[in-house]
Structure 1
Amino acid sequence: MNKLEMTEAIMTAKSSMSVTWEEAGSAIGASPVWLASACLGMNSAPAKTAAAIAEYFSLGEEVVAALEAYPTKIWDQAVPTDPLIYRLYEVVGVYGETLKEVIQEKFGDGIMSAIDFSMDVAKEECPKGDRVVLTLNGKFLPYKSW
């Protein structure tokens, strides 16, 4: 089973169970954001976690193996058309240079790791309309001179 087939199996099971990533993550003992990413094929899961995911969704060993497999992190390089994904793309397009300037001013010349990284999605209730709060937390990796 490849990652795409795995994702289809998990998403079908998730839909038939009518559960949220929050509920699944709580039951499995994983961050709902990380869990969604692993189930969508963008992260590998440790053996114990892969088994727990497959058990939770009542799926077999082929799903466990696919969850454990190291992903090739490639995505469509075209501008996304899904409105939510496009807005995130737009945020990076509009504010990417600003974020780079501010991060490098505070930390020096380097990057934010997407390997030593965590992410959270929260809802903030607001009278003018609820707010999406994204927290991206990555280790700073300085460039080295040699």
Structure 2
Amino acid sequence: MNKVEMHHTIMAAKARKEMTWDHLSELVRKAPVWLASVCYGMNSASPDVAARICEVLELGEDVAIAMTEFPVKSWEKTVPQDPLIYRLYEVVGVYGPTLKDVIQEKFGDGIMSAIDFSMHVEKIEDPKGDRVLLTLNGKFLPYRSW
């Protein structure tokens, strides 16, 4: 089973069991965003975590094995059409240079890690319309000179 087949199998089981990422994350004891990323095939899980996911979703060992395989992290390079994904793309396009400048002003010349990294999504209720709070937390990696 490859990562694409794994993803479709997991999503079908998740829908069949009417499970949310938050609920699945509680049962598996991993953060919802990371867990979803594993299920989308963009990260790999340890054998014990893969086994817990498969146990909860009642999936076979072939799915667990696919979850433990190292992913190829790639995505479409065209502008995304899905409105939510496009807005995130737009945020980086509009604010990317600003964020780079502010981060490097505070930390120096370097980057934010997407390896030593966590991300959380929260719902903030607001009478004028609920808000989405995204927290991106990555280790700063300074560029080295040699």
What's the TM-score once normalised by structure 2's chain length? 0.99
Q: Output one character per residue of 1:94-122: Cα deviation in whole Å (capped at 9) or x when no partner.
A: 00000000000000000000000000000
User: Where do 4+ consecutive residues of structure 1 move more than 2 Å?
Assistant: none
Q: State the partner residue of 1:101.
A: 101
Number of aligned pairs?
A: 146
Aligned twin of 1:4: 4
TM-score, with normalisation over the residues of structure 1?
0.99
Cα deviations across residues 51-87 of structure 1 (Å, max 9, x unaligned)? 1011111001100110000000010111000000000
Take 1:63 and 1:42, find their aligned partners in 2: how far apart are those partners?
14
Q: Per-residue deviation at 1:127?
A: 1.1
Q: Secondary structure at the match of 2:38?
A: helix
Q: What's 1:89 paired with?
A: 89
Query: Which residue matches 1:113?
Result: 113
Identity of aligned residues (%): 64
Residue type at the aligned position of 2:24: A
Q: Distance in 1 between matches of 2:77 and 2:134?
A: 23
Question: Is 1:68 the equivalent of 2:74?
Answer: no
- Name the structure 1 match of 2:31: 31
Which ranges in structure 1 are unaligned for 5 or more consecutive residues?
none
Q: Which residue of the partner structure matches residue 127 of structure 2?
A: 127
Query: CA separation in 1, counterparts of 2:26 and 2:37?
Result: 15
How far apart are the structure 2 equivalents of 1:43 and 1:53? 14
Aligned-residue offset at 1:141: 0.1
Superposition RMSD on alpha carbons, in Å?
0.4
Query: Which residue number in structure 2 is paired with residue 79 of structure 1?
Result: 79
